[in-house]
Amino acid sequence: MKATVTVMLKQGVLDPQGEAVRHALGTLGFEGVEGVRQGKVIELDLAEGTSEADVTSMCEKLLANTVIESYRVEMG
């Protein structure tokens, strides 16, 4: 079984990497980009019987800094 965890900075938290990407895109001529938020995607190969609650616990304890990041878990 696989799980995909998407981690993003919470709204209101400054995203310097996203801003650098936005600026670079403008430099390359892509003027229509008004904002960029950068995050990370984590794919987990799970043993049978691992629940979404287990993955949520992994996120809370290690995969996301819940003070400044939000996350979404997709099981499949």
Number of domains in the chain: 1
**DSSP β-bridge partners for residue 73:** 5
CATH number at 66 reads 3.30.1280.10
pLDDT tens digits along 8-56: 999 999 999 999 999 999 999 999 999 999 999 999 999 999 999 999 9
Q: What is the pTM of this model?
A: 0.88
Q: What is the pLDDT of residue 61?
A: 98
Find the helix or strand (DSSP H, E) in which 4 lies: strand 2-9
Domain that holds residue 50: 2-75
Identify the pLDDT of residue 5.
98
Give the distance from CA 21 to its chain's centroid: 16
What pLDDT score was predicted for residue 14?
Answer: 96
